[in-house]
Structures are given as C-alpha cells and as structure tokens.
Amino acid sequence: MTYDVKNIELAPEGKKKIEWAAKDMPVLATVAKDFETRRPFTGVTLAACLHVTAETANLVITLKKGGAEVFLCASNPLSTQDDVAASLAKDFGINVFAIKGEDNATYFKHINAVLDAKPQIVMDDGADLVSELHKNRPDQIKDIFGSTEETTTGVIRLEALAKSGNLKFPVVGVNESKTKHMFDNRYGTGQSTLDGIIRATNRLLAGQTFVVAGFGWCGKGLAMRARGMGAHVVVTEIDPVKALEANMEGFEVLPMLEAAKKADFICTVTGNKNVIDEKHFEVMKDGAVISNSGHFDAEINLPALKKLSKNISMARPYNEEYELADGRKIYVLAEGRLVNLGSAEGHPSSVMDMSFANQSFAAEYILENYKTLEKKVHTLPTDIDDKIASLKLEALGIAIDVLTPEQKKYLESWEEGTN
Ligand code: ADE
C-alpha cells in the first residue's frame, strides 16, 4: 500500500468522522453489503479523483468491499479532510494521495500517482483525471474501460471532449441521474455553501443582500437557503429561461454590475470564468464578502483583484482581506475555491449517500458494459435512479402509493379522455 497524507497520526479522528458519516448513508450501506457478497470488482484497479471527505471515504470503502484495489487523490487542492485521508490509509487499506492546501504541482503529482497504478476504471469529479490521461498519458488509455463523472462542470468538459471527437473511452455522467443533481446539487450545495460562508465569517445573513450568480441546480439551492436565512436574495444569470424562473420564484434578477453595487455577499455557482471581474470590484461596497461554490477557482478574477489591492491579509481562517487603493476592503473566502469544501465539510452525508450510490452503480455499469458502450457521456438507466430513490425512501421510513393495474393501463393508453 502507498500513500501521501499530511499526518498519519490523525487517523483516529478521521475514523470517527467516517463512522459518523456512515450513519447517514444507508443506501450506500445496502450497496456495500451487496458488493461484499458478489465482489464484482475483483482484480480491478480503480483510480478515483474526488473530494477526500468522510463521505468519499465511505464510497471508496464500499468499492474496496466490492473487490477493487482503490487509489484515491483529491479533486481540489483545498477540499481534503486530512484526518479522513490518514484513516483511509491506516485503517482501511486505501492508497490515498491528498493533502489539504497542497500546491498545484503536488495536486498534479497526486493525480499522476493514482494513474501510475494503471487503473481500468476511473472515477472523476471535475474531469482533471480524465483530462490528464488524454493530455499527458495517452499510452495508458487502451487499458481504461471507462470513467464516471460526478459534477456538472465535469460533464460539460467531457461533452466538449466527446464533441471534438477526442474522448477515448465511455463516461457515465453520474451528475445526470435525478437522484444526484436534484438533491446533491440543490439541497447539498444550498446548505454546505451557507455553512462555508458562515464558518469563514460568522456573519448574520438576515437582512443582508446576498447575490447568487447562476441559477442552475446549485444556484437554486443556494438562493432558496439564503432566503430561508432572511437574506434579500438577488440572482444574476445569462440564460433567459433560468432568469425568468428566478424572477417567478420571487428573487430580484439583475446584471452583475448592478448586483455588485448593492451586495453584502456574492457567491458564484456558474461553472464559468471571471463572473466577478475587475469592473465589479470597482463598484463593490466596502466590506463585501465574495466566494465561489462552483467547481473551479476561475469564477472570481483574483489576479485582477490582487492588482487593485494595496494590501492583502488574513482576516480569519479561509477569509482574506483585500484592501483596495481607495481604502475599500473586500473579503475573499477559501481563496475563491469551493467555499463549501474549503471552509466547511462539503455536502452533508445524507445527500452524498445517493450521489455515491450512483457512483457505485456507475462503476459497475462500466464494468459490465464497457465493450459495447459508445465513447460519449452516458446517463445511468432510469431503473437505477428509481432504485436509489426507493432505497432512500425506505431508509427514511417513507411509504408511497403504487399504481393499480387499472391506473397503469390508463397511463399506457390513448383511448380514454373526457368521460
Ligand atoms: N462534493 C460536495 N460535497 C461533498 C462531500 N461531502 N464529499 C465528497 N464530495 C463532495
């Protein structure tokens, strides 16, 4: 076994976190039990590039129970929980390469360390692992059965790669499952982003103007939860349909230049770059707090902010004060990286339960179908999505109705209309 973690002595604290998270991951536990008896991944090496959290720990333990040899690295330099990484290496036999706050060179060294293990299955979050394979390790591609992809940003990147005709193996876009994006992206991002902002600032949100950039599933969740905390929520969008949806949800919709003038908080969740740019810094109020919960740290133009600043200092952990030439101060959380994982612990286990059940089934789907799957981004079959939702309902003790034979027939026919 190999690993590179911050401090292996942190393992006991990490183990407790992993066990605590497991209590809220009953669907994944059902998958693990099944994998343990069938061991479908026997003889398979799996390389995963995911946020190294207590929830991810439960996923990789599940895959190992299914017979896989697992190599894990971080999908973001700031998202690793060092105690969890230590416990995975010490207590669970996972080859883990991840250190919170690692520099870019170490981040890519760790990505290459898991690829050195010569995996057949790849599990990605943001597509850095798949991108590294395509850009710098083409010789290895023939051995890869396929990849899974966790996030909206990764799916968009991989669809662009497929469209260019250069995607070299099939991908399952886990993000496309309803039991992933409707829960993880919406309720998970909604809660964990506020958690990150509050931990980094300890500010009251009630009565504050909170700008949410982007009204996708993540933005919807964040806007909804910020409103729940009593903030006046403003949404910025580039998509007319989503902007209209935000308006009819009762949010104020503005271009960023207008929103930036009145914001106490701005959080980007767009998946795009320079969403907060130089012209926006120029009009911001003194004391504005800005953060990002999109996958990459490209959404806030930090180089431009640095240029405008005469002084930069740490105000609090994961909260940097940028003092501009005119004396205004702007606060940047978690270095503009994912604030929910940088200054908090990511989405709660209960939603990651379904995301990671999807990841587990996606890995098995690749194993069973890779020989016939087209080299494009696939969605898991609906019956898997429904099975995950049913298992979650069962674990929550929620019963639902079933169609009567008469109702089933009615839905399948066209003859019956107005009585
Ligand atoms: N992405 C968002 N939250 C996460 C978590 N808790 N674990 C792994 N990936 C995540």
User: Residue 121's pLDDT is what?
Assistant: 98
User: Closest Cα partner for 291 from 337, 230, 324, 235?
Assistant: 337
**345 Cα nearest atom in ligand 1:** 6
Sole residue written with tokens 């799916």: 155
Instruction: Give the contacts of 198 (CB within 8 A, at least 6 positions apart).
Output: 205
Contact 264, 284 (CB under 8 A): no
pLDDT tens sequence across 330-383: 999 999 999 999 999 999 999 999 999 999 999 999 999 999 999 999 999 999
Cα–Cα distances in angstroms (integers) from residue 389 to residues 58, 106, 302, 400, 409, in the given order? 19, 38, 40, 11, 24
State if residue 53 touches ligand 1 by the CB under 6 angstroms criterion.
Answer: yes
Tell me whether residue 417 is in a domain: no
Q: Do 258 and 306 fall within a single domain?
A: yes
Q: Do 274 and 226 fall within a single domain?
A: yes
Ligand 1 centroid distance, CA of 56 (Å): 7
Tell me whether residue 329 is in a domain: yes
Atom 9, ligand 1: residue with shortest CA distance: 51
pLDDT tens sequence across 1-36: 799 999 999 999 999 999 999 999 999 999 999 999
Tell me whether residue 414 is in a domain: no
Alpha carbon 353 to chain centroid distance? 13
Mean pLDDT of the chain: 97
Q: Do 201 and 127 fall within a single domain?
A: no
Q: Do 122 and 66 fall within a single domain?
A: yes
**Token pair belonging to 65:** 């129970």
Q: What is the mean pLDDT of residues 263-272?
A: 98
State if residue 56 touches ligand 1 by the CB under 6 angstroms criterion.
Answer: yes
Pairing of strands 146-149, 171-173: parallel
pLDDT for 208 beyond 80 = yes
Query: How far is Cα 370 from Cα 384, in angstroms, rounded to an integer?
Result: 17
Tell me whether residue 378 is in a domain: yes
Q: Do 331 and 371 fall within a single domain?
A: no
| Domain residue limits at 325 | 188-342
Tell me whether residue 411 is in a domain: no
**Token pair belonging to 224:** 């909804």
User: Closest Cα partner for 295 from 272, 318, 279?
Assistant: 272
Contact 6, 82 (CB under 8 A): yes
Q: What is the mean pLDDT of residues 194-215?
A: 98
**53 Cα nearest atom in ligand 1:** 7
Q: Which of 55, 350, 360 for a ligand 1 pocket mutation test, highest count of atoms within 8 Å of Cβ? A: 55
State if residue 181 touches ligand 1 by the CB under 6 angstroms criterion.
Answer: no
Q: What is the dihedral of CA 121, 154, 289, 334, to 10 degrees?
A: 20
User: Residue 293's pLDDT is what?
Assistant: 98
Q: Do 79 and 217 fall within a single domain?
A: no
Q: Do 45 and 103 fall within a single domain?
A: yes
Q: Which of 18, 52, 79 for a ligand 1 pocket mutation test, highest count of atoms within 8 Å of Cβ? A: 79
Ligand 1 centroid distance, CA of 198 (Å): 18
Ligand 1 centroid distance, CA of 116 (Å): 25
Q: Which of 338, 347, 358 for a ligand 1 pocket mutation test, highest count of atoms within 8 Å of Cβ? A: 347
**Token pair belonging to 348:** 């709660």
State if residue 154 touches ligand 1 by the CB under 6 angstroms criterion.
Answer: no
- Name the residue with higher pLDDT: 419 or 313: 313
Ligand 1 centroid distance, CA of 339 (Å): 12
Tell me whether residue 31 is in a domain: yes
Ligand 1 centroid distance, CA of 55 (Å): 7
Tell me whether residue 419 is in a domain: no
Q: What is the mean pLDDT of residues 133-149?
A: 97
DSSP, collapsed to helix, strand or coil, labels residue 209 as: strand
Ligand 1 centroid distance, CA of 81 (Å): 11
User: Residue 1's pLDDT is what?
Assistant: 72
State if residue 352 touches ligand 1 by the CB under 6 angstroms criterion.
Answer: yes
Q: Based on the structure, what is the number of domains in the chain?
A: 2
Q: Do 168 and 292 fall within a single domain?
A: no
Q: Do 261 and 360 fall within a single domain?
A: no
pLDDT for 205 beyond 80 = yes
Q: Do 152 and 214 fall within a single domain?
A: no
State the pLDDT confidence band at 294, using cuts at 50, 70 and 90. very high
Ligand 1 centroid distance, CA of 267 (Å): 18
pLDDT tens sequence across 384-395: 999 999 999 999
Query: How far is Cα 96 from Cα 74, in angstroms, rounded to an integer?
Result: 9
Ligand 1 centroid distance, CA of 152 (Å): 13
Q: What is the mean pLDDT of residues 185-204?
A: 98
Ligand 1 centroid distance, CA of 14 (Å): 15
- We report the CATH number of the domain holding residue 222 as 3.40.50.720
State if residue 180 touches ligand 1 by the CB under 6 angstroms criterion.
Answer: no
User: Residue 6's pLDDT is what?
Assistant: 98
Last residue of a domain, one of 300, 326, 342: 342
Tell me whether residue 366 is in a domain: yes
Ligand 1 centroid distance, CA of 407 (Å): 40
**Token pair belonging to 299:** 């959404």
The torsion angles phi and psi of 133, rounded to 5 degrees, stand at -60, -45
Q: Do 140 and 287 fall within a single domain?
A: no
Q: What is the mean pLDDT of residues 110-126?
A: 98
User: Residue 346's pLDDT is what?
Assistant: 98
Query: How far is Cα 177 from Cα 360, in angstroms, rounded to an integer?
Result: 13
pLDDT tens sequence across 29-61: 999 999 999 999 999 999 999 999 999 999 999
Rounded percentage of the chain residues whose pLDDT exceeds 70: 100
Ligand 1 centroid distance, CA of 379 (Å): 20
Rounded percentage of the chain residues whose pLDDT exceeds 90: 100
CB atoms within 10 A of CB 275: 22
Q: Do 220 and 156 fall within a single domain?
A: no
- We report the CATH number of the domain holding residue 359 as 3.40.50.1480
State if residue 292 touches ligand 1 by the CB under 6 angstroms criterion.
Answer: no
Task: Please name the amino acid found at residue 341.
Answer: L
